[in-house]
Amino acid sequence: MTQSLPAELDTTWPPPPFRTPVPPVIAEDGVRRFDGVTYATRPGFRPRLLDVHVPAAQGPVPAVVWIHGGGWLEGDRRYPPPTVPAGLLHGTVLAAGLALVSIDYRHSLEAPFPAQLHDVKAAIRYVRAFAAAFGIDPGRMAVWGESAGGHLAALAGLTGPDTPGAATLEGTEGVGAGDTSVRAVVDWYGVSDLVTLREHPMPPMPPGAGEYPDPYDALLGGTEEERLALARAASPVTYAAGAVGAPPFLLVHGTRDGLVPYGQSQALDAALRAAGAECRLEPVEGADHIFLGAPDVAPIVARSVAFLAHHLGA
């Protein structure tokens, strides 16, 4: 007698380039945790994973996709910058009635741009495709990133199916097609214009840090002759001029940022406003990158979450 496989072991060939969510772990406070969900795969690369934390609620809730920083070279979905405790970030989002989706993406030495944007869009498509399983409202999603993640969040908010070169920017990773639009963007100290930033000298690495690749050249790939065009294609300001119908933006940036100058957020703010888009720029006076030197990051987190909750109708 032939015995059928259990449903969770049933397979097709070739397997889909993602995995369906498994049942969540439910905490005492009712928060549902889906940890280490594979949203995209490609032979030769590590699986791209995301975590979904959903507050206790009677119905589907809005969701925020968190995109980590790390110069596109490093970083991990589980760890915010050291100045922002994970408990503060997660707790503030969940307390506002929002789900938090934290994603990994391919680093630049694994694959150059636009692979990172493809992964962000793949994660958005995946959450929408499995929104019912997660308890998320697929029509109310936003993106929030810091540093390299802020850059990717801005690009995700400014590019879509009607953007020139959309086929190159949207990608087909994971759930290969679907809506990647978002209703709001929070960009913490992200790069907006790689053309000008490549001329900004990198701070010296501390002794013993070893060789560190140039993050901009690693992100862009290509030859030196090709990199100017590649830098324009990877810059949010390139798409801000056509930002009619763009989601509202909140830009938060330290005024003494020595890694990504404050002027990067000023440039994106000016470009969005010139296009008629809604944008708010909040300087953090005297703060360096990752808000080093800020007396208290909790109010910055709170204002960012309040912005997202307002625009997501939470």
Catalytic (active-site) positions = 147, 257, 289
Helix (H) or strand (E) holding 158: helix 148-158
| End-to-end C-alpha distance for the chain, whole angstroms | 54
Helix (H) or strand (E) holding 120: helix 115-129
**Strands ordered across the beta sheet of 136-146:** 25-26, 32-40, 48-54, 99-103, 61-67, 136-146, 185-188, 249-254, 279-284
Phi, psi of 74 (to 5 degrees): -155, -175
Beta strands in 167-313 (DSSP E): 185-188, 249-254, 279-284
Residue type present at position 54: V
For the chain, helix (H) and strand (E) counts, in that order, are 11, 9
